[in-house]
Each structure stands twice: as C-alpha cells, then as structure tokens.
Structure 1
Amino acid sequence: MQNETVNLLPSQIFFGFALVAFIALVIFEKIKPYRRFTDKIVKESFLTNTTAFLFNNIILTALRATSLFFVAQQFSSHGLLSGLGNNPLKWIITFLLYDLAIYVWHVVSHKYVFLWRFHKVHHSDKSFNTSTGFRFHVFDLFLEIIYKCLFVVLIGVEANLVLAIESIQLFFIFFHHSNISFENEKKVSDFIITPYLHRTHHSTLRSEHDSNYGIVLAFWDKLFGTRKELVPENIGLDIVVAENFLQLFVLAFITERHIKKVLNIIPKGRKS
C-alpha cells in the first residue's frame, strides 16, 4: 500500500501543477491577448486540444511523471553525475543537461520524417494559445518518455529533481504557447523562451518554424544558430481544413497524397 502511494504522488503533483499553471495562463491571455483569432478558430482549438489532453495526457502524462520518477529512483546512483552527490552544483548541471536534451529531441522531431509525422500534429493548431501545449500525438509523447527515461539513466538524476525539472518545463510549455505579451518581453527573451520567440516556431512557413527549439533557456538556440526573431504572418501548417482529434490522430499515419481523400486536407509544405 505504501509503494502505491509513493508511485501515485509524482503524477498527483504533476497534474496539480499543470492545472494551476494552465488556468492562470488562460486567464492572463483572456485579459490581455497578444493576437486576435476568430471565435471559431479559438473554440475549435480549445476543443481539439482539450480532447488531446483527455486522450493523451491523462494516460501518458501520468505515465511520464511516474515512470521518470521510478527510473530515477532505481538508477540515480549509477549515472554519470552520481558521484557529485545531492547538492546545488549537481542540480544546476542536471537542469542544464536536461534542458539541452529536450532541445535536441525537439530539433530531431523536426528534422527526421518519422518523428515529424507525429510532431506535426502539435504544429497543426491554427490558433496559438495555452491549450496548444496539450496538442500532441500520443506517439509523440510516448517516444519522448522513452528518450527521457534513457537520459535519466545515463546521467543519474534524483527522483525529486526529475519531478522539479519536469514541472518547470511543463510551466514553460504552457507559458510560451500562451497568447500574451508583456513589458520588456524581447529583453526577457535573451534568457528564456517566451511567447514572442515561440510564435515564430509555430509559423506556417517551414523556414520560420524550424527555429527556436528551446523549452526553458534561450541559450541553446543562440549557441546552435537556430534562433529567429520575427512576427509570423500565419500560425499552423495550413493543411487542416476540418479539424478534430480523430483527424489529427490519423494525420500521422498517412502520406500527403492520401490526406485530401481521407481527411479533406489540402497538402501544402512539408511532405509526410
């Protein structure tokens, strides 16, 4: 019984934090939206993204928090950083490596066709709001969980530190998808990923959305030359005409020549 309580605790904390962060940012973007989308687009976006949350995140976010927590419990004493002990230096190094690892995963999700098939579901949102942080294909999340588990084993991360970093990254996923702007945002963008930077990443144009891959720190995009600062004319992929969650799920498994026939989607841009 005690083990069950320990295993449930990470997912409970993770869901609680997610709910508070999501509600706070939704309220903020309602009060002071950066960009005005039509009511139809916003309603479709929230409905589809919330459905994705119910289908994906209730299953896989719980799995992600719990599985990473469990893996960290088992292997934290065997990784590359295990010899540093549990101290602030290790926390900082672990956070930096974790953030870099997710940056790398994000880059390869754009560069490799197999991974892009799933990740493009996230980019298909024609709106840009906090709920876009929910819009992921189930296999995109599943593959990311496997990648993170391997990373945790490699470097040796304490379970509580994993939970803390995952919570920070979750907040930033909601934050940089939120339809908001704030004073000195461009200056803040020199240090962390903001909505100002991440809007470019959701541009319709491939030349624009293949940029700004960072999750928390803006440093990695500067270091690897993937940073772009501009205001995208359009958001999304311009391929979804009538969107719902089922269509988005199927989208990952079909080629462009079948898209129009099966889902009434017009193929433009990147090949599937």
Structure 2
Amino acid sequence: MTVQIFGIGEAVWRVAFFTAIFLSLALLELLHPRLERPELMRALKAQRWFTNLSILVLSSLLLRIIFPAAATGVALWAEAKGYGLLPMTGLPPLVGGVLAFVILDFAIWLEHVIFHKVPLLWRIHRVHHADTGLDLTTGLRFHPLEILISMLWKSAAILLLGAPAVSVLIFEIVLNGTAMFNHANLRLPQRTDQILRRFIVTPDMHSVHHSAEPQDTDSNYGFNLSLWDRMFSTYLTRSKHEPKDVRIGLAQYGNPLPARLLWSLLLPFRKA
C-alpha cells in the first residue's frame, strides 16, 4: 500500500523533499553559521556527519524492513477499514486533515517528553543527545530502536485518529524537515527568530534543549510547533549561559566518543 500524489509514490516525495531541505540547510549553515565551534569544524565535523548519516541510513533500512508501507501505509489501512475517531465526526476532509496534523504533532511532542522521563527510553534517546555538535545532521541522529518505537507510537495515534493518508504523508515530510531545521547551526536575524518561534521551533530555541545543563535539557521539547512547550510550561526562552558558552551534549560524554558510529549504536546498552 502506498500514497500517490500526482501519480508519484510516498517514498519518492519523501526522498525528494529530504534531499532538497538537506542540501539547502547545509548550504545555509556554511553561509550563515549560528556559532563557529570546534566540534563543527572540519575533521570532527566529517566524523560526526559520517556517524549521524550512517545512523540515519541504518534506521531507515530497518524501518522499511519492519514497516514496508511506513506511516502512510498504516493510514491507508485504517482508512480502508473505516477505523478512527475523525471519520466518525463527519468533518470536511480538509478540516480533518489539518486537525490530524496538529494532533500528530502533539503526539510526537509527548513522545519526546516520555523518552526523557522513562529511564529505559532515555537510555535509547541519549544517543541523540550525546552528539557534541549541533547541526542539521543531529536532527537525523536517532538510534534505530528509537525510530522503531516512534513508529509504533505514531501508528497507534494514526489508527486512533483515522488520520487521512495524505495528511500523514505531509506530516512526515514536515516533521523531517523541521527536525533538520531546528537542529541546524543556522543564524537567523533576532527579529525573525522572535516571530518564527511564536509558531514553530527555531534553531536558537531548540539549541537550549541540547545543553548539557539538566534544567535546559528539560525544556523546549518541540520539533515542529512551539505551541506545546508554551502550553505545558516547558518553554525556556534561552539558557542562562551565552550561546557560545553552552556545552552541547551530555556531561559524561565528551569528544571523540559520540562521533564514533559503533560507540553510538552501542550506547543504549551501556550503563548510565
């Protein structure tokens, strides 16, 4: 089962948007870096990129093996069976699609909070936070186990909602793009950042979440809409430290360990 828009399949749309967003952000990071940090420079950056992108490839392959039709396939199956709350409401398709998008975004925000609060899940999620640099590839650095758990969580939300398949596809593309955007080492004009973060998560806003300071990490959980952190009082305007002085990563792990692929893959199985 697959979703097709204008005769083009779901996987093609996702790869096309991913490639365009990735290349655009990579260029913008070069032209307008938010910070010039040693861990974002040359040799270590190359090692970090290799590891982060390798984790992405492994996670994507595993996901396609276990969930060949991905989230859109789940939505199509639910649609065919008539499952879900949204079909029962009789809402117009456009309204139902927008509502599904917003609720799915909340589900991902809540999932992120849970991964931080449940010790067993944190062991897996800390692979993402162990990265000592912060750029667009950090937004792709999620352990394969986390990706599988996330797909199960997302599938449950899709089935409960009866989310339209096209809405799910758009959500997946947007979520992937915004995850790269808000992790990017990208400098935005202060006024632009202030306006954007009223609606979406910006790089400056999300960088606080990747601080090694626990009180910073326990904030700004959003990947896409900034609404949820404001609503549930987990929004933090900025760290108490200046951006250049904020230590990125986890206090117990420094360079070069998190930049190594095998070390990163085995991290969930190491003692905290």
Q: What range describes the TM-score normalised by the shorter chain of this pair?
A: 0.7 to 0.9
Q: C-alpha separation between the residues in 1 aligned to 2:226 and 2:30?
A: 26
For residues 175 and 136 of structure 1, the distance between their equivalents in structure 2, rounded to whole angstroms, comes to 15
Partner of 2:261: 245
Residue 15 of structure 2 aligns with an amino acid whose one-letter code is F
Question: What is the match of residue 93 of structure 2?
Answer: 87
Aligned-pair distance for 1:9?
Answer: 2.3
Aligned counterparts, 1:66-105, within 5 A = 66-76=69-79, 77-83=82-88, 84-105=90-111
State the identity as a percent.
27
> 2: distance between equivalents of 1:106 and 1:254?
21
Q: 1:235 aligns with which of 248, 261, 270?
A: 248
Answer yes or no: is 1:176 the counterpart of 2:182: yes
Separation (CA, whole Å) in 1 of partners of 2:130 and 2:168: 30
CA RMSD of aligned residues (A): 2.0
Q: Check if 1:147 corresponds to 2:153.
A: yes
Structure 1 stretch displaced more, 44-53 or 111-120: 44-53
Q: CA deviation at 1:61?
A: 6.4
| 1:131 corresponds to 2:137 | yes
Q: Which amino acid aligns with 1:205?
A: E
1:160 matched residue in structure 2 = 166
Amino acid at match of 1:237: L
Note the alpha carbon deviations across 1:34-67, whole angstroms, 9 max, x for none.
0012224322321211221222224426866822
What are the residue-to-residue correspondences of 1:113-132 with 2, within 5 Å?
Answer: 113-132=119-138
Distance 1:70 1:106 in 2: 23
Contact 2:3/2:73 (8 A) holds in 1:
no
Distance 1:211 1:69, change over 3 A: same
Once the two structures are TM-superposed, the CA of residue 5 in structure 1 deviates from its matched residue by 9.5
Instruction: Report what 1:259 is aligned to.
Output: none
Q: CA deviation at 1:86?
A: 4.8
Alignment correspondent of 1:52: 55
Runs (5+) with no aligned partner, structure 1: 256-271
Aligned equivalent of 2:18: 18
Shift in alpha-carbon separation, 1:86–1:240, aligned structure 2, 3 A: farther
1:203 to 203, 206, 211: 211
Q: Work out whether residues 63 and 148 of structure 2, in 8 Å CA contact, stay in contact via their aligned partners in 1.
A: yes
- The whole-number CA distance in structure 1 between the counterparts of 2:200 and 2:171 is 15
Paired residues of 2:3 and 2:10 also in contact (CA < 8 A): no
Residues 1:42 and 2:48 aligned together: no
Deviation string for 1:126-185 (max 9, x for gaps)?
A: 111011112111101010000011111000011111101111111100100110121221
Q: Residue 10 of structure 1 contacts residue 65 of structure 1 at CA under 8 Å; is this kept in 2? A: no
Report the TM-score, using the length of structure 1 for normalisation. Answer: 0.87
User: In the aligned structure 2, how far is the partner of 1:66 from the partner of 1:169?
Assistant: 18
- Is the alpha carbon distance of 1:200 and 1:132 closer, same or farther for their aligned partners in structure 2, counting shifts above 3 Å? same
Measure the CA separation in 2 of the matches of 1:151 and 1:203. 30
Instruction: Describe the superposition over 1:56-107 as per-residue Cα deviations: whole angstroms up to 9, x where unpaired.
Output: 2244268668221111111132101113355221122111111111110000
Superposed displacement of residue 242, structure 1? 3.1
Larger relative contact order (Cα-Cα within 8 Å, sequence gap ≥ 6)? 2
